[in-house]
Amino acid sequence: NAGVMQNPRHLVRRRGQEARLRCSPMKGHSHVYWYRQLPEEGLKFMVYLQKENIIDESGMPKERFSAEFPKEGPSILRIQQVVRGDSAAYFCASSYSGAEYQETQYFGPGTRLLVL
């Protein structure tokens, strides 16, 4: 009964490169959420996706960040032209159903992104 899987666990990028973070939800879950944890801060919501749809991206920075959850395969959080301020832990969570039932979100182990 695998939980939420994220890879890589650690990612180092130089300024200007692209970062791709992957998330496989728990088995049977079709709702994915991404959160960002900046150093010494709490977690902040970024985006909520269902298969092939972005439901709520109100927490996503307007530029350089994008997310997808294709019909097949993991959800991807993509950061283009990374800057030092993007260094953070990025957590993915998944739930069984959506807003109507307000299911518990179960989190993955996170990806620690370090931008040099």
Partner 1 sequence: AQKVTQAQTEISVVEKEDVTLDCVYETRDTTYYLFWYKQPPSGELVFLIRRNSFDEQNEISGRYSWNFQKSTSSFNFTITASQVVDSAVYFCALSGLIQGAQKLVFGQGTRLTINP
Q: Rule CB under 8 A: which of 35-64 touch partner 1?
A: 35, 41-45, 48, 55-56, 58-59
Give yes or no for a contact between 49 and 67, defined as CB atoms under 8 angstroms apart.
yes
Question: Per rule CB under 8 A, is residue 102 in the interface with partner 1?
Answer: yes
Question: Per rule CB under 8 A, is residue 96 in the interface with partner 1?
Answer: no
Structure tokens at 7: 């890879």
By CB under 8 A, how many residues form the interface with partner 1? 28
Which runs of E-coded beta strand occur in 2-116? 5-7, 10-13, 19-24, 31-37, 43-50, 53-56, 65-68, 75-79, 88-95, 106-107, 111-115
CB of 92 to partner 1, least distance (A): 10
Where along the sequence are the contacts to partner 1 (CB under 8 A)?
31, 33, 35, 41-45, 48, 55-56, 58-59, 89, 91, 93, 95, 98-99, 102, 104-110, 112
